[in-house]
Structure 1
Amino acid sequence: MEVGVARIDITPENPVRISGYAARDKAETDKVLHRLSAKALAFGSDEQNPSLFITVDLLGIPWRITQRLMKRLSAITGIKPSQIVIAASHTHGGPEVGPLFNHLQCRGDYPAQYNFSDSLLALDQLIHIAEFNEALSEKLEEMALAALENRKPSLVSWGTGEVSFAVNRRTEGGPVDRSMPLMRITDIDGTLRAILINYACHGITLGPEVNEIHGDWMGEAQKAIEARYPGVTALVSIGCAGDAHPVKQGKQEYLNVYSEEIAVQVDNLLNRDLRPLDSPPLGAMEWVQLPFAKIPTVRELIALATDTTIHGYYARLALERIQRGDELPQVLNYPIQIWNFGDQLVMINMGGEVVVDYAIRLKRELGADRLWINAYSNDASCYIASKRVIKEGGYEVDDSMYWYDKPSRLSEEVEEVIVEAIRELILDN
């Protein structure tokens, strides 16, 4: 099929606040450990309704940026929104893009009690964040058009390996998805052009004490692959990593260990007979409504408003919105997207921080040998917990929702809503 490859540097040009940790230093930074990139693969000819797979070295990608790109590209090229996906790497070392803006308002040092400023960010910090996000949207459009422009006949194939450094961060010995799917793109003569890999592990090898821009293990893995294969573009997406993190954290040397394990696995897969893909993807996208477990009343918000933790901060934000005439959201509007590469591969693109139970269940029910799951895609809404995890409670279920500016935990029924929607999208397309 025809494939185009493109990349662009998205490293901030000015000092900027980094998101990912409430406990991080509140100062802006211009120090760069890894330069950040956006990268794109364009699949299919104009007659085949081309598709764009985009990765970004960022904590998440909010829907407002994804939607803006979809609208712009649709107007310029006619490409359908369902044929575009943006997958974030979930590094905790990138500039703030909106999904966890509350982190920047937190005042105080972890693990002491959090304190929150109810005022806006300092004006220069707010402007620098806004400028980065505007530049990001412009760069994504430029790169996407470049990928569409340089499409040429290529060979595409895929296979799955295994990587071992992710562990369940909620339960010792708990479930994780160790699979590492890989897609290989070569010229017709076999010259390697691009490699896309996926692994389900949080980008938190480096902690909040590192106030430098970096791509965590995902950025280091891209560097390692591209060093092994000069001229190749390496892309990394993330699977259902909501409850998975690296087994060791806090030292830069661990980045080298993890990237080396991935690079060796890439070597092994490239030396195997990978399964060819001869049809560009056909996309379909649906928004489903995920119910919250409970919407707080005004009286409940008033009672909580003096709390100095994230709970009280959310209550004050919610009260202000209500008094301004807004309503609290009753449901979470959630995007689900599938890409069918003929009958050879189904790529599922899910928004938010999806926990591992979804990967385990979808692979069991739909067939692990034909599924590729990208979480952190198209929208950075919140953690998407499973029925089991919601029953257990904990950070991903409860506290995290207030960081994500949501009124409560999700209802236990959301797992069935999501799985059923994915199943129907696959069957109908």
Structure 2
Amino acid sequence: MPRISQRIGSIAESATLAVDAKAKALKAAGRPVIGFGAGEPDFPTPGYIVDAAVDAARQPRYHRYSPAAGLPELRAAIAEKTRRDSGYVVDPSQVLVTNGGKQAVYEAFATLLDPGDEVLVPTPYWTTYPEAIRLAGGVPVDVFAGPDQGYLVSVDQLEAARTERTKILLFVSPSNPTGAVYSPEQVTAIGQWAAANGLWVVTDEIYEHLTYDGVPFTSIATAVPELGDRVVVLNGVAKTYAMTGWRVGWMIGPADVIKAATNLQSHATSNVANVSQIAALAAVSGPLTAVDEMKVAFDRRRKAIVAGLNAIEGVDCPTPHGAFYAYADVRGLLGKDLGGVRPETSAELAALILDKVEVAVVPGEAFGPSGYLRLSYALGDEDLAEGIRRLQEFLGTAR
């Protein structure tokens, strides 16, 4: 009999974490690697959040188990933060605090899907979505939109992909990996289409505060009230507050869905670490001043990385309007001679770049079709400039 179950053996390693781990291992070995892999702000968590956690760590009541769904005061604060930031009104009982955003993603699909149910996945997608869908017994259905569409899927594309087995539309704006942001009109049209077809919408809003050029964030839950109780909102503190390591996310949905997901979590992990929950409470209840300061730096880096990538012949990088990723079309480089090697896929190209110039990027295969590279610009200005210089020097030799 096989040692590993088919269900777990079929899961691919997180490509973004794998690239980040390899880059960090090379750095630890003394190599001057520039890492564009992980979507992790280079800023420290704001001081007032750390202070709240330190204070909580000294209080014995936070040394014990707490409710699996989350501390009541944090659930209430998340409900209020959601109303404040997106206009979506929910009761604290509709909030489940999870161990990071990934657990919220997994539990949403595990709670809603039965074997064979289909999920429409706008592509390029974050690498974890299809794996979480498959773990729940569902079937991810890619709906691809390329750079000619600004990486934004249309209602017509979604309708063409819909079948009698379609149960959920996954909706992500701003997008990881592309940084694309749907306009209010596009959000409304897609939401109305989903509602008219009786679909659930699972919307990941973790980049809600990271938009640029005056482009607004629009929550599909607020824009399309006719979705009613068939919408699940995923979010967390990781990206907005530079808290990737604190591991606090949440899931918002109808009371019966949240109760079922809480039952799952009660057997899987129980409560999120209480000190992290208190840190998250300080984050979501506090001002967005630190967030705005970080966004100024992200915006500066966004402009620099897009200009630098587009200066390379064979690379086409649309300007992202959200998150902190540039998604470059590198199909023009495939098959070209790069230092005596002719990469045929973006995976081969990414491996070659890491080997030759010690720059870590994530290939398009992690997010859907080959032919693209994702670069996070949530790293320091000096590292970004040096990384782009190395890419220009190496890729500029393509023939």
TM-score (norm. length: structure 2): 0.28
Name the structure with the higher strand share. Answer: 1
Q: Which structure ranks higher in relative contact order (CA pairs < 8 Å, sequence separation ≥ 6)? A: 2
